[in-house]
Amino acid sequence: MLKLFNSLTRKKEIFKPIRKKEVRMYNCGPTVYNYIHLGNLRAFLFADLLRRYLEFKGYKVKQVMNITDVGHMVADAERGEDKLEKEAKIEKKSPKEIARFYEQAFFEDIKRVNIKKAWKYPRATEHIKEMIALVKKLIKNGYAYVVNGSVYFDVTKFKNYGQLSGNTLEKLQAGKRVEVNPEKRNPWDFALWIYDPKHIMFWKSPWNNHGYPGWHLECSAMSMKYLGETFDIHTGGEDNKFPHHECEIAQSEGATGKKFVNYWLHVKHLIVEGEKMSKSLGNFYTLRDLIKKGYSPRAIRYLLLSTHYRQQLNFTFQGLEGAELSIKKLDEFIKNIKRWSKLKEKSQSKIKLVKEIIKKTKENFEKSLDDDLNISPALSSIFDFVHQINKLGVKGKSAKEVKKFFLKIDEVLGLNFKKVLKEKTKIPNKIKKLLRQREEARKNKEWEKSDELRKKIEELGWKVEDTPNGQKIQKNN
C-alpha cells in the first residue's frame, strides 16, 4: 500500500483517496514574473512523479496547478510592490504582457523535462469572482473583518491556526516581532482583500473600487472550485508551509466548516554546490541556463528526481554530469534490447528466468515508491535489473518482455525511452564491413586480428563491445 508523509500529522500514512480510484490533487504553481528556477522545477517534478505513480497504481488523477498572475508581493510580503508589477516596470510592459510571456515560458520548460500537463491551470486574475465570494463567506462566518476598504482574516477566531507549520499563535506571539499594521486587530492577521489606490492591477469589490486579492486567497478559491471543498492532496515547497498553506487551511475551513485537504506534501529546499541559491552568489540557475551550458533536459529531470523529496538536494555540476552518464547507460540498454528482440531465442528456461527477474524488480521498484516515493532505492533496482539482463543476455521473446517492462517503468520515471527507441543510428557501410570482418576473426579465434579491427573501428569514432548476444556498436560522443 502507498504510504505518504503527511505534513499535517507529521507521520507516514496509508493513502486512502476520498473517491475510489480517483485522486484530486492541487499543486502550488508558478508566479509568472520570471523564468522558473531549479528550486521551482524540483517541486513541479515531484508533483509529476507523484501523479505518474498514482496513475501507475491505477488511479485517475485530477490535477490542478494555479498560475499566480496577481497578488504575490516582492519578498513574499503582504503589501507593497507586486512581483509582476515590479517586472513590468523593468521591462516597460503591462503586467498582463509579463504574465502571459512567462506563463508561456513555464509551459515550454515543463514540456522540455517531460512533465505531464495538469487537468487545469487556473489563472488568479480569471477567478476574482470566486475569491470575492469566499471573502464574503468568511465575513459572514465571523472570521474576517473590514477596515478602510481592506479585509483581514482574524487568526484568533480559527482555533487550529498553526496545525500545519507548528506556528501556533502562542509561539508566534513569543517569537520575533512583526511590523505592526494599525488596521489589524492582531499582528498575525492576514489580508484577504487589499485596498491600494497605487496598485496597477485592481478590481471592484463590495469593500472598495480599487483593490486586489491577497496571495493566499487564490489557492483556496481555485482549488475548491475545481476539486471540491475537501480534496486528497496538496503539494508545494517547504517555504510555502508558513504562512501560505497555513493561511489556506484557515480561510478554506473557516468558509466551509469542513476539512480542506487530507494529505499535505512538502518538498525540501534545493541548494547549489553546498550554498543557498541566489543571484548575488552567481549560483542562481534556470532550466534554460543549464540547457545553454549543454546539459540535456532528461539528465536535469533525472538529477532533480533522484533525491527523496523530503531530503535537501545539493545540486552540483558533477552530479549533473553523473546524471548524463546514467541516462546514457539506460539509453544504450534499451537500444540493445530493441536490437536483441529481433534475434531468435530458443531457450525456454531463459525466458522463464527473465520473467522472474522482471517480477522481482517490479516488486522492489513498487516497494520503494510505496514508501513515501522513496526514489533512490527504486532507481537502484532498475540499474540492478540492467546489470542482470546484460549479464544474462536476452533475445527474441525474453528481450521483448524486458522492453515492455522497461517502458512500463518509464511511465513513472518520465525519461522518454519511447523516443529513444524511435531514434535510428545509421552505421556507415565501412563500419559494418569492419564489424563483419571482426565477427569472422572472433569465430576463427584470431584474437590479434580481432583487436586490430576493434582499434580501426574506434579510430573512426565508434565504440564496439562484445556481449552474450554479439557485438554492440555505438557512436562516440
Asked whether the CA dihedral 378, 380, 384, 387 is positive or negative, the reply is positive
DSSP letter string, 37-100: BHHHHHHHHHHHHHHHHHHHTT-EEEEEE-BB-S--BGGG-SSS-BHHHHHHHHHTS-HHHHHH
For residue 25, which of 286, 257, 244, 223 has the smallest C-alpha distance?
223
228 burial level (CB within 10 Å; 0-12, 13-18, 19+): middle
Give the pLDDT score at 279.
Answer: 82
- Reported as type and span, the H/E element at residue 354 is helix 348-370
Give the pLDDT score at 180.
Answer: 74
- Reported as type and span, the H/E element at residue 222 is helix 215-227
CB atoms within 10 A of CB 418: 11
Tell me which residues of the chain have a pLDDT lower than 50. Answer: none
What digits encode the pLDDT tens for the residues 72-93? Answer: 877 677 777 888 888 988 999 9
Q: What does the alpha-carbon distance between residue 81 and residue 63 come to, in Å, rounded to a whole number?
A: 31
- Ordered strands of the 150-153 beta sheet: 144-147, 150-153, 190-195, 211-213
Instruction: Give residue 450's region: left, alpha or beta (phi > 0; psi -120 to 50).
Output: alpha
What's the chain's length in residues? 477
In whole angstroms, what separates CA 142 from the centre of its chain?
A: 38
Give the pLDDT score at 459.
Answer: 86
Give the pLDDT score at 178.
Answer: 65
In whole angstroms, what separates CA 413 from the centre of its chain?
A: 11
In whole angstroms, what separates CA 243 from the centre of its chain?
A: 22
Whether the link from the prior residue into 377 is cis, omega within 30° of 0, is no
First to last CA, the chain: 43
86 burial level (CB within 10 Å; 0-12, 13-18, 19+): middle
Give the pLDDT score at 344.
Answer: 82
Give the pLDDT score at 477.
Answer: 56
Here the cell at position 423 is 531514434
Q: What does the alpha-carbon distance between residue 26 and residue 62 come to, in Å, rounded to a whole number?
A: 8
Give the pLDDT score at 175.
Answer: 62
Q: Which residue pairs from 11-15 have beta carbons closer than 8 angstroms and sit at least 24 positions apart in sequence?
A: 12/371, 12/372, 13/263, 15/263
Here the cell at position 360 is 522481482
Overall pTM > 0.75: yes
Give the pLDDT score at 422.
Answer: 84
> Which residue is associated with the grid cell 496597477?
200
Here the cell at position 220 is 483556496
Helix axes 83-91, 95-112, angle to 10 degrees: 100
Give the pLDDT score at 176.
Answer: 59
Give the pLDDT score at 181.
Answer: 85
Q: What does the alpha-carbon distance between residue 32 and residue 34 come to, in Å, rounded to a whole number?
A: 6
For residue 331, which of 360, 296, 306 has the smallest C-alpha distance?
296
Here the cell at position 445 is 579465434
